[in-house]
Structure formats: structure tokens, C-alpha cells
Amino acid sequence: MRRNVLLPVGAAAVAALAIGVAAPAAEAKAVTTGASAYSAGASTGSANLTTTLTLTGAVGGLLDGLISPIVSSALNPLVSALQSTVNSAASSILGSGGSNNAGSPSQQTGPKPANFPGETFPSGAACTAASTTQPCYSAASASVGAAGLAGVDAGAVHGFTQQTQQSDDATNPIFGRAQIASVSVSALSGISALTSPLVSAGLVDAKANCPNDGSTAPSASVSATNVSLLGGLVTLSVANGSIANLAVNGTSVGSIGSLTTTTVGAVTVRSYGSAVRLDVTLSLSQLLSGLSLSASAVSELLGDVTSSSLTLSVIVGPNSSVTSTSAKAWGLGVGVDLSGSLKFDLLGLVGARVSLPTGISGGNYGNLADLRLAYATCTAGSGGSGGSSSTPAVPPANV
């Protein structure tokens, strides 16, 4: 005999709720306490070209009326044209001041990425700086200029940060990964003797990796392909953390340790630490051809100059530094520096000196440009390898 069973109203509601609501999602693990990572298309140095003008033997009265027009129409425009750097502009587009950078993730994720430099970069809708597991940036191209003195152009710019969960990688690493492609760096492009771009590279990569298992050391990985300086006068690549396949004027050198000082025309090639350095001697007329000065100003300056000493320096090489708890790397550093002095005789009455101090010092590698392309850093955590469990934050759209 069929029997009807009636549930109390409260019990029926509970049963319906149990049927309609799925089991809660597995909790996500937060990034290991104190662990951090950062990635950017580029970082920059802090040097600037700060040219100064000094007058000696100035006289007063009517003669000042003869000197002042020369200063205001020729010398001041020259000094004004030599007050620039591409660094701040590069930072605003390729670095911390723009969108091409990624900070630390807040949650761990997997699976374990491929070995450097074969990692897959997040793309499309999956690439967002707001990601909790893989903060990411991606741009099809980037271009930076600074008043004609220097400029940077790049193709694709990619990067992300991540902490790989311990179940996928026993070392539980947090890392920053950066890549920039088809890079060209130009300076004083109006000078015909300087091949533009000064420096070009095919693909530049960097990774800073910081394990959180308490025993594995951090590491830094860098690479660069098809690097060319001054239209191929110097060519190289970056592999295993240092310059490789180095060639000067068509002659194979191999590693930076085998490079001896070589002079080719007005260019001197030598090593500079782990980098290669080119020093190019320039004349005043060459410098003026690279600046946007009036014809009358150029004529006045060339007619009044008594001595000229100008050097354009280009420094190119990778860099990485590793401690017991941190790592920092950039795939290719490019420094461009203009230095020297110019002296002028103004009507035999006043001497004028234009000074261009170098920006190569204290960790800086150029006053026109100091670029650390494909930049990544990381710091290991202090809270153990597993991190802590936490429920993912509710997306704002669902609140």
C-alpha cells in the first residue's frame, strides 16, 4: 500500500538547500609569508645629461651688448638641447611608471612552468595585472623618445610573476619573468657616422627565481639573441648569464674575457666588467648635426669653437645578482652616455665653456639612456614553504 510521507516545512527547506548548493571550492594557499616578486619590461638608472655653461672674462657696458646675443642665440640653445635623458620616459612606458610591470601574486598556483626561457606567458583575457595567481602584462609594441637625443622601440613586451604551489614544485618558488622582443636603442640619430639604431636585439629574457623550501638557493637566468652594436661593428648574444658569441669588426672573440682593447676608426671597443663598451669620438660639427639648432646658431658655434672633446659611450651586457634570499636580473643592459667639454672664444673678449659630465658612475651606465631590459626580481619568504590557506577574495563584480 502506498504511503505519503510529509516533511515538516523546515526540513523540506533544508533538503532543497542541500540539493541546490554545491560543495565549497577547495581553499587556495596564500603566497609564502614575506615572499615577493616583480617583473617589468625595463628598469632604468638615475643619471641625466646636465650640461652647464660657464663664461670667463666677462666685461660690462657696451661690450656686453656684443656678447649677450651670441650667448642667447647660440650657446644657450646648445645647452638647452643637451638637457635630457630617455630614462624617465622609458620608466613611464616600459617600467614601474606604466602598465608593463607586474607585482607579487597573492596566491600560489600551478602547474610548474617550463624551463627558462621556454615558459608560456599568459595572454589575452588571462593576462591581467589584477590576477591573484599570475599578475601579468603584455603589449604588442612600445616606443619611447626623448627630444631626439635618444629613443627606444620594442616589439612584444611580456612578463608575469608567480609562486608555484608545492605540489607542483617541491621548492615552492616565487619568481618574476620578463621578456622584450625586437628592441632598438637610438641616440643622436642625426649623426650620419652613427648607425641607427646604436643597439638592436632580437629577444631579451630574464627570470629571478626564489625557492621557499628552506634549502634551495635563489637563481637568476638571462639570455639575449642577435645583439648588434653600431650596425654590426660588434655582435654578441647572452647565454648562461654572460656575453657569448662576441665578434668585433667581423672577427670572432668568443667571451667577454677574451676581448682586448681594439680601435676601429673613431671607435674603441673594450670590456667594462661583464659588459662590452664602445667609445666613439665625436666632433662638434657631428654633435650639432644631431641636434635641432638653427643654421645661424650652428654657424656661430663652429666659428667660435677653440677646442672640442666629445665621447659617445655605449655599454651593453646582462646583469644578475643573487643572495641567499633574493635574486635580481635583467637580460640586457644598454647604457648610452655623452661626455666631454667644448670651449669657445667670443669676439676675443669672453671665454665660454660647455661641460657635459659623464653619467657612468655609481651603478649608472649612461646619461642619455640607462636601460635594464627585461627586468625581474624576487625575495624568498620567511613563513615556511607552504604558505597559509585562505579563501579567495570575492571578485568586486560578485559583491
What digits encode the pLDDT tens for the residues 39-70? Answer: 999 999 999 999 999 998 866 555 678 899 99
59 vs 68: CA distance, rounded Å:
11
Q: What is the mean pLDDT of residues 314-333?
A: 97
Report the pLDDT value the prediction gives residue 362, as an integer from 0 to 100: 87
Q: What is the pLDDT of residues 79-102, one digit of tens each?
A: 999 998 888 889 999 999 999 999
Q: What is the mean pLDDT of residues 269-296?
A: 94
Can you read off the three cell numbers belonging to residue 111?
602547474
Mean pLDDT, all residues of the chain:
88
Can you read off the three cell numbers belonging to residue 193?
657616422
CA 256 from chain center: how many Å? 22
Q: Sorting pLDDT into bands at 50, 70 and 90, what band is 386?
A: very low
Task: Please report where in the chains the cell 625575495 appears, as a residue.
Answer: 379
Report the pLDDT value the prediction gives residue 88, as an integer from 0 to 100: 86
316 vs 191: CA distance, rounded Å:
21
The residues spanned by each domain of the chain are 40-398
Q: What Cα–Cα distance (Å) separates residue 317 from each residue in 190, 248, 252, 371, 373?
A: 25, 15, 17, 11, 10
CB 174 within 8 A of CB 163: yes
CB proximity list for 386: less than 8 A, separation 6 or greater: 29, 32, 166, 172
Can you read off the three cell numbers belonging to residue 175?
619568481
**What single string gives the DSSP state of each residue in 357-399?**
---EETTEE-SSEEEEEEEEEEE--SS-SS--EEPPPPPGGG-
Report the pLDDT value the prediction gives residue 395, as an integer from 0 to 100: 32
Q: What is the mean pLDDT of residues 321-341?
A: 97
Which of 84, 76, 81, 82 is CA-nearest to residue 352? 76
User: What are the residues facing 254 on neighbouring strands?
Assistant: 246
CB proximity list for 296: less than 8 A, separation 6 or greater: 73, 74
User: What are the residues facing 38 on neighbouring strands?
Assistant: 377
CB 173 within 8 A of CB 208: no
Can you read off the three cell numbers belonging to residue 37?
616578486
User: What are the residues facing 346 on neighbouring strands?
Assistant: 350
Report the pLDDT value the prediction gives residue 58, as an integer from 0 to 100: 62
Most confident of 17-21, 149-153, 187-191, 198-202: 198-202
Q: What is the pLDDT of residues 171-228, one digit of tens each?
A: 999 999 999 999 999 999 888 888 889 999 999 999 999 999 999 999 999 999 999 9
Can you read off the three cell numbers belonging to residue 103?
607585482
How much of the chain exceeds pLDDT 90, in percent?
75
Report the pLDDT value the prediction gives residue 226, as an integer from 0 to 100: 98
CB 15 within 8 A of CB 77: no
71 vs 86: CA distance, rounded Å:
27
Can you read off the three cell numbers belonging to residue 334?
644598454
How much of the chain exceeds pLDDT 70, in percent?
87
Q: Sorting pLDDT into bands at 50, 70 and 90, what band is 383?
A: low
Q: What is the pTM of this model?
A: 0.86
Give the three-state DSSP class for 40. Answer: strand
Given a cut of 70, whether residue 17 has pLDDT beyond it is no
Can you read off the three cell numbers belonging to residue 5?
510521507
